[in-house]
Amino acid sequence: MNIFNTDEGYAVRCPGLPGCWSQENTEDEALENMRAAIAEYLEVVEELAENQEFRYVEVAV
């Protein structure tokens, strides 16, 4: 995660989850909100993948 000190407090983003970020007055609050944002993000990803058909393919490197 990346934490930024801004004029409005602290912003946190998770580069591995596009669009997943949080902002609060304190660093601790921003991190706590980020934990919740990540959990919600992953719930949505799981819901979207629920009815999808997947194939796993091994690739030799």
Range of the domain at 8: 2-49
The confidence score (pLDDT) of residue 36 equals 95
Please name the residues in contact with 19: beta carbons below 8 A apart, sequence gap of 6 or more.
41
**Is residue 22, in this structure, part of any structural domain at all?**
yes
17-55 pLDDT per residue, tens: 999 999 999 999 999 999 999 999 999 989 988 888 888
Residue 57 within a domain = no
What is the value of pTM for the model shown?
0.74
Confirm whether 55 is domain-assigned: no
Q: What's the domain count of the chain?
A: 1
Note whether residue 56 is domain-resident. Answer: no
pLDDT tens digit sequence for 5-15: 999 999 999 99
- Is 13 domain-assigned? yes
Sign of CA dihedral 41, 47, 48, 53: positive
